[in-house]
């Protein structure tokens, strides 16, 4: 490599066109003076990176609208210009939206703790065996468990671990869909109640009645985005025919689940909730405004916070720019 000398290369016109150089345009040709006062033929480079970036951005935006936001709803009363402003904000914070089968958010600003009013040895109500299940129920349970393992909601408990508390699970059916539910009645009996305040529904309705623009976003499996403290996970062990598993995140069926989620949301949006333009209804995030410009600013602020805390929004359960909303 020490004996190498610099070489000059001749580039084709097609290659030069990539950088905005037209060799046939004499107005863009000029000479520059380099070392030893040698003249060299040169071109002003008008790079097309900005145009290319815009094209790529537009393509990505179209993919976002067609793929991730295809099921999101906008008010039909919004004008085209208003919709473009809304789409720009949604595309900017697109990482905050997710599908049901994608990884959940991992919010760790508040971890759930479970305190019992009994001590070891725990009563038999906390150490129950699995329920009998038929072939179809077993298959459905295995499907739900495998899905929750992939999402990071559950983890397998090792055979050598000391298991003091375990709860059986069952399938509940809604039309043709099933859902795995833990029978936490025993655990809930011995769990100390939380007294965190929950807003009344009429307060939310009062705020909604004053708003002209309303946006509603659903937190994707919202309760499962909230982690449990390590020592509390031993109380959230479930048993099925295929083994014993442990919840890493909160289950909706446990006592105080709603209070823990409300405390989590209050930690994330303290100022927004105190200014009463943000409403939390179960796992729905509702934004209220009287002007569209203010609504976009508030939506941008909420989505920015959602990204910062690693929350995920279910894109198919969103409603943007509505004038009325049913809770």
| d(C-alpha 279, C-alpha 199), whole Å | 9
Contact yes or no for 313/215 (Cβ under 8 A): no
pLDDT band at 14 (very low <50, low <70, confident <90, very high): low
Sign of CA dihedral 274, 280, 281, 286: positive
pLDDT at res. 21: 52
pLDDT at res. 158: 85
pLDDT band at 204 (very low <50, low <70, confident <90, very high): confident
H or E stretch covering 318 = strand 313-322
Domains of the chain, CATH where assigned: 13-42 (no CATH), 107-322 (3.10.10.10)
Does the pLDDT of residue 25 top 60, yes or no?
Answer: no
Question: Closest by alpha carbon to 112, among 2, 214, 252?
Answer: 252
| d(C-alpha 222, C-alpha 201), whole Å | 19
Does the pLDDT of residue 26 top 60, yes or no?
Answer: no
What is the pLDDT of the chain when averaged over all its residues?
82
* Measured CA distances, 263 to 209, 227, 231, 255, 273 (Å): 25, 13, 19, 14, 12
Residue ranges of E strands in 167-269 = 167-174, 177-182, 213-219, 226-228, 237-240, 243-247
Q: Which residue has the higher pLDDT, 48 or 88?
A: 88
pLDDT digits over 243-301, tens only?
Answer: 999 999 999 899 999 999 999 999 999 999 988 899 988 889 999 999 999 999 999 99
Q: Which residue has the higher pLDDT, 142 or 75?
A: 142
Does the pLDDT of residue 52 top 60, yes or no?
Answer: no
pLDDT at res. 57: 55
Q: How many residues are recorded in the chain?
A: 327
Assigned token pair, 76: 């039909």
| Rg of the chain over all Cα atoms, to the nearest angstrom | 29
Does the pLDDT of residue 155 top 50, yes or no?
Answer: yes
Contact yes or no for 215/286 (Cβ under 8 A): yes
pLDDT at res. 301: 97
Q: HSE of 54 in the Cβ direction (CA atoms, 13 Å)?
A: 4
Assigned token pair, 216: 């509603």
pLDDT at res. 11: 53
Alpha-helical regions (H) of 217-326 = 257-268, 270-274, 292-308
pLDDT at res. 186: 95
Residue 4 — left, alpha, or beta (φ > 0 → left; ψ -120 to 50 → alpha)?
Answer: beta
- The predicted model gives 1-29 an average pLDDT of 52
pTM to 2 decimals? 0.75
């Amino acid at each position: 490599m020490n004996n190498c000398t610099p070489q000059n290369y001749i580039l084709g016109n097609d290659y030069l066109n990539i950088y905005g150089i037209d060799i046939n345009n004499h107005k863009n040709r000029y000479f520059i003076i380099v070392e030893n006062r040698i003249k060299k033929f040169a071109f002003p480079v008008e790079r097309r990176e900005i145009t290319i970036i815009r094209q790529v951005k537009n393509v990505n935006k179209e993919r976002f609208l067609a793929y991730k936001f295809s099921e999101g709803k906008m008010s039909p009363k919004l004008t085209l210009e208003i919709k473009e402003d809304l789409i720009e904000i949604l595309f900017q914070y697109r990482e905050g939206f997710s599908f049901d089968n994608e990884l959940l958010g991992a919010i760790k600003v508040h971890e759930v703790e479970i305190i019992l009013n009994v001590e070891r040895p725990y009563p038999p109500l906390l150490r129950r065996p699995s329920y009998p299940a038929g072939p179809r129920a077993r298959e459905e349970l295995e499907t739900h468990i495998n899905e929750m393992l992939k999402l990071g909601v559950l983890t397998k408990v090792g055979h050598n671990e000391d298991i003091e508390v375990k709860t059986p699970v069952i399938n509940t059916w809604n039309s043709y869909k099933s859902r795995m539910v833990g029978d936490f009645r025993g655990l809930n009996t011995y769990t100390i109640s939380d007294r965190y305040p929950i807003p009344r529904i009429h307060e939310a309705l009062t705020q909604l009645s004053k708003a002209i623009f309303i946006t509603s976003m659903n937190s994707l499996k919202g309760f499962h985005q909230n982690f449990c403290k390590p020592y509390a996970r031993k109380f959230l062990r479930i048993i099925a025919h295929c083994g014993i598993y442990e919840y890493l995140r909160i289950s909706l069926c446990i006592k105080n689940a709603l209070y823990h989620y409300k405390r989590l949301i209050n930690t994330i949006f303290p100022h927004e909730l105190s200014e009463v333009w943000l409403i939390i209804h179960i796992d729905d995030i509702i934004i209220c405004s009287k002007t569209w410009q203010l609504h976009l600013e508030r939506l941008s602020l909420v989505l920015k916070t959602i990204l910062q805390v690693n929350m995920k929004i279910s894109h198919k359960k969103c409603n943007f720019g509505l004038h009325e909303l049913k809770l």
